Amino acid sequence: MASNVANFILLLAIFSSFISNLFFFKKKYSHSIKFFNYSSLLVIFSFCLLVYFFCTSNFSISAVYENSHTLKPFFYKLAGTWGNHEGSLLLFVTIIAGFGSLFSYLFRKEEMYHFKSWVIFFQNNIYLIFLIFLISTSNPFDMIVPHPQEGLGLNPILQDPLLVLHPPFLYLGYVGFSLTLSLVLSGLVLRQLDNNWASIVWPWVMIAWVFLSIGICLGSIWAYYELGWGGYWFWDPVENASLMPWLAATALIHSLLVLKTKNQMRNWTSLLAILTFSFSLLGTFLVRSGVLNSVHAFANDPERGVFILIIIFVITLASFIIHSIYSSRTISIGNNFFFSKESFLNINNLFLLFFLFVVLIGTIYPIILSIFNETISIGPVYYNTILAPFVFIFLLAMSVGPLLKWSNKINLSYFGFLFVTFSISLCLSILIIILTNQNQLALFLGLLTSLVLILTIIFEFVKNKLFLKAYYYPRVLSHLGVGILLLSIFLNGFYSESKDFEIQLGENKEFNNLSLKFVNQDIYKINNYLEMKTDFEISKDNQIFTLKPSVRRYFQPVQITSETSIQPTILSNHYLAVNFPNQNENVLGARYYFNFFIHGIWLGMFLIVVGGMFSAFKKRN
């Protein structure tokens, strides 16, 4: 019964989406928009139904049966809705529809009604393709007969509050860029890609960008606290899949800036907008098709993979063809002056796309080689080596760029200004290097360039009294965030320490100026898992604290998860993870991390996101 109702609603949604297309071709634009909105409401309603089924543990629905359990806390029942392929795809479709409807509701320029109907038309078709895919291959409302009494449960590693929020934010970001695509395609077709268009697009790009950034940050924080590997970013292909659209979108934002103020770079900006959504789709493909063997990958199903691939092929190819047909070769208004804002925004795009390209190659290359029966692994070392030198130059360019003026106007005041910040940073980084006795060029350059960026922004902020001008907040905050983030990454990378050791109950270990004592061990059996809780007493510099890491072994499905214990101090984290003892020994393996400056990483991410929020919601002038 429940299943039939839900399926009927989905069919109705498809039907009304078709009608919307029909009206569009008959040039009845207001009807077309109306029917798109009907369809969108129906899909949103069906998503609510699925949430309801999960919350009430309605096991006659297969997705609920496979991913939920009556004993689960309410919060995780709710999260089960998007913790599986079918449910998350429904969320995906719902968000496409939601963004379309939100746009049709908020965009009320009567003189651009034609433009609006084109946007809805494109959005409707992206939505329709995914909706058909949903119903034909991964219908979340499939019925199970007879009705089972109990569900199979949710993957234990997914039972974490951060991970409940991580996917919806990521999708809001990924899928939010579908509206950017619709906007750019309409702009191309109607030949309205100009500064006016750029200011219409701006908030929508920023919103999606903010959501994507939050999603990535949540994933990173989760990895740090839950995986027990002491790190926050692993260059895992699935992480890369979310980083690629983020880099593309960041480049897009900067080139939109040029389009908005100078009415230049139309073709390039539209190309970037298409690329951004293409990379979102590529990410979706990588995660869902089973080409990756990764921590986060969903269940492997090549048939679904083929479908997704065809969809992505159609959407991206169509977009690129539209772009090549309608892009007009603009006569670029020459500006010979290197030290201008435009040229530095160009340089920004060059670097961001280079980073994107490195991540793309690193992610795709092993997959492509696997066709030829060759296996290679690409890990952090590759990315760090190839990216680091470029990141340093990027940071310097980032310090200079915002100080420059548009076009040919020369602004000489920044020279002295930069000289001061550069000298201070130079002294500071040399001091740090000498005091800590870490003579490494990479650390030195990293410290120098990130300090230059941070100090330049702070000086500019104070000197030009930018705190009085809300207009500058987004840029200042997010650039400062990038500076702090990278500074912390360098510090964390070079000053963190870790120690692997084996320890028995009551034993005491000493390393550096830290002593660690294993004082207590308890083993509990809780309905679905066995948990070993441990207490460690740690003393360092006359400070004593207790860390209580634990480790769980889930029985169904069998999986070991680690609950790390972290003691934060002002500048660093003491991080401890334990593992079950090996066969017939009382000795258990533990790993201690001294994570330096990890707070800075979270702070940097936070500032980047807040900057984006300011920009998304600031009043348009």
- Comparison of 43 and 291: residue with beta carbon closer to another protein: 291
- CA quadruple 231, 236, 239, 243: dihedral sign: positive
- Comparison of 62 and 579: residue with beta carbon closer to another protein: 579
- Comparison of 53 and 307: residue with beta carbon closer to another protein: 307
Token pair 């994107």: residue: 356
Residue type, 11: L
- Comparison of 142 and 226: residue with beta carbon closer to another protein: 226
Give the shortest CB-379-to-another protein separation in angstroms: 3
Give the shortest CB-388-to-another protein separation in angstroms: 6
Please tell me the distance from the alpha carbon of residue 177 to that of residue 297, in angstroms, as a whole number. Answer: 22
Give the shortest CB-53-to-another protein separation in angstroms: 31
- Comparison of 380 and 506: residue with beta carbon closer to another protein: 380
Give the shortest CB-249-to-another protein separation in angstroms: 18
- Comparison of 192 and 335: residue with beta carbon closer to another protein: 335
Give the shortest CB-614-to-another protein separation in angstroms: 29
- Comparison of 260 and 499: residue with beta carbon closer to another protein: 499
Give the shortest CB-118-to-another protein separation in angstroms: 21
Give the shortest CB-297-to-another protein separation in angstroms: 9
Contact criterion met (CB below 8 Å) for 38 and 71 = no
- Comparison of 74 and 338: residue with beta carbon closer to another protein: 338
Please tell me the distance from the alpha carbon of residue 276 to that of residue 429, in angstroms, as a whole number. Answer: 37
Residues 6 or more apart whose Cβ sits within 8 Å of residue 96? 123, 126, 127, 130, 175, 178
Give the shortest CB-253-to-another protein separation in angstroms: 18
279 token code pair: 């990379």
Please tell me the distance from the alpha carbon of residue 210 to that of residue 612, in angstroms, as a whole number. Answer: 6
Token pair 């048939």: residue: 303
| Of 455, 445, 391, 444, residue with least CA distance to 417 | 455
- CA quadruple 3, 6, 12, 13: dihedral sign: negative
| Of 160, 126, 156, 477, residue with least CA distance to 314 | 126
> What string of H, E and C letters represents the secondary structure of 462-491?
HHCCHHHCHHHHHHHHHHHHHHHHHHHHHH
Token pair 């989760």: residue: 222
